[in-house]
Structure 1
Amino acid sequence: MEQNSIMLIHPDDQSRRTAEIMRRFNDVFQNHDPSALPGLVAEDCVIENTMPAPNGARHAGREACVGLWSAIASEPGTRFDLEETFVAGERATIRWRYWPADGNSIRGVNLMRVADGQIVEAMGYVKG
């Protein structure tokens, strides 16, 4: 786990609430413990990601989103290094570096949106 990650937060109450949700979300992947996900993910959450190539996939609903993130968070021998989290209002941007078990790394960014204290949207992009 990278110890020098940065969290930049716009100075307002909504941003502080969103930052706390993002901290808890990032902890899921840092600690390989997806147990907090059901409480963080809204019933109508949508994830759009880049896999499978070339157009990626769309995952809709709490069950699908929690299932996808749980599988990623609990993958043996992997880690995420957080590089930066930027929060403004209900939106957050997370820059990360993922280390699969094979030792190669992938850089990426998640564009997140929070409403009513839960994640409602996540769009993930990777450097390819």
Structure 2
Amino acid sequence: MMKCPQALLAIFWLLLSWVSSEDKVVQNPLSLVVHEGDTVTLNCSYEVINFRSLLWYKQEKKAPTFLFMLTSSGFDKKKGRLSGILDKKELFSILNITAPQTRDSAVYLCAVEAQCSLVTCNLYSNSTAEALQL
């Protein structure tokens, strides 16, 4: 009877390692100092199996605040002075901040949502954050 739980554990571990072994999300630049009035461009590239959408967040002192989701290639999403572009062919997204102000100082995060697999659904976020300081 002991062999069955060990076999299940080994299979479960293999499935978990399969889910995230190929996926990555990278942002650049890692930090940025901007003067008021400059245009800010933050980049996010990804390699994710079964891509579904890319999400941008802003984090100040508390939990991240959702900015917007990009799902269609070439889609330009605008929210006030923020705009986001997604290129699914080249596997990247850009977040632009027009005429940044002091209140825009924060950490900006991109995350990629993958399609559900037989094992689980995952939200792959970047391991590094972009800090924007004005």
- Asked if TM exceeds 0.5, the reply is no
More strand by share: 2
Q: TM-score, normalised by structure 1?
A: 0.28
More helix by share: 1
Q: TM-score, normalised by structure 2?
A: 0.27
